[in-house]
Structure 1
């Protein structure tokens, strides 16, 4: 059935493609955060273990919301490790870094998601896609706050 939501097919496809990059970055960050939750050690173990769990739980909900928005636009959401690895800008961590390095990597990951999400605003605005713009705004707010909280652990 034809989709008629007031956004032309070309723009819906471009927005969905951009959301696919946001989804891939978010999923890569989810995996990294979950990895760090499992593997963190040191004097801040309990604090970081709990904080990372809260963060990956939030990200798990977010990836579902982003994927469902892609589907609402009439596209299929990327949903494989290979697709995510092609689309993400977040570097995979294959080792077990020290706790402070974990925190720094997560700050960088949240900032990456923010920049990827921000890159879609012009297209959303020119396409009158307020729903995607609202989703991106909410995601950016979460990632900015999380990056700030993580960054504060590295200060002093």
Structure 2
């Protein structure tokens, strides 16, 4: 049996910290991280709530609401990676676990055994309004720090959030739409 000699590789020291170079001031970068991470936590929380409602929906508008909530859940989940990557690009760290999410989220979970379709729509609309308000506040923080890339990302995500609010609002109009 032939033995293979170990290859000679260059040893690189393990990083002691996740320090991404940035020209943003450290204090400003920290404020951005503190503004963005709760938005990511809320996006995960509302994503799961949207899926919960999607899975437990019933009623005459089942198909329409089922598809709407699935689409919204996908949008929310899709917002998390770009936001988390912005946090890393400015030198911060982001979410690591479900418990980290629950510690940062500002929207409330819904563990009820039954929620009417109208209650689902209204609750998700309020949650999205809360996310939009947090995004606007974070946008101001980013502008103050001259972090235009994160500001630009937030502008796109605010527009998507406002569209979800609009669709949920219109779907919730009139009691006859929930039977």
Q: Which residue of 1 aligns with 2:154?
A: 136
Q: How many Å apart are 1:5 and its aligned residue?
A: 3.1
Return the match for 2:35 from 18, 29, 47. Answer: 18
Question: Does 1:126 find its partner at 2:144?
Answer: yes
Q: TM-score, normalised by structure 2?
A: 0.82
Alignment deviations for residues 60-85 of structure 1 (CA, whole Å, 9 cap, x no partner): 11111111111111111113222111
Q: Which residue of 1 aligns with 2:109?
A: 92
What does 1:79-118 align with in structure 2 at a 5 Å threshold?
A: 79-95=96-112, 96-118=114-136
Q: How far, CA to CA, are the matches of 1:122 and 1:50 in structure 2?
A: 34
Q: Which moved more, 1:111-120 or 1:75-84?
A: 75-84
Q: How far, CA to CA, are the matches of 1:5 and 1:74 in structure 2?
A: 7
Q: Which runs of 5+ in 1 are unaligned?
A: none
| Counterpart secondary structure, 2:158 | helix
Q: How far, CA to CA, are the matches of 2:35 and 2:97 in structure 1?
A: 17
Poorly superposed stretches of 4+, deviation over 4 Å? 1-4
Q: How far, CA to CA, are the matches of 1:2 and 1:97 in structure 2?
A: 45
| Count of matched residue positions in the alignment of Structure 1 and Structure 2 | 156
Q: How many Å apart are 1:32 and its aligned residue?
A: 0.5
Q: How many Å apart are 1:118 and its aligned residue?
A: 0.9
Question: Does 1:150 find its partner at 2:157?
Answer: no
Question: Does 1:42 find its partner at 2:66?
Answer: no
Q: How far, CA to CA, are the matches of 1:152 and 1:131 in structure 2?
A: 32
Question: How large is the Cα RMSD of the aligned pairs?
Answer: 1.4
Q: How many Å apart are 1:45 and its aligned residue?
A: 0.4
| Counterpart secondary structure, 1:155 | coil
Q: Which residue of 2 aligns with 1:72?
A: 89
Q: How many Å apart are 1:9 and its aligned residue?
A: 1.0
Q: Which runs of 5+ in 2 are unaligned?
A: 1-17, 175-179
Return the match for 1:54 from 58, 71, 88. Answer: 71
Q: How far, CA to CA, are the matches of 2:28 and 2:49 in structure 1?
A: 31
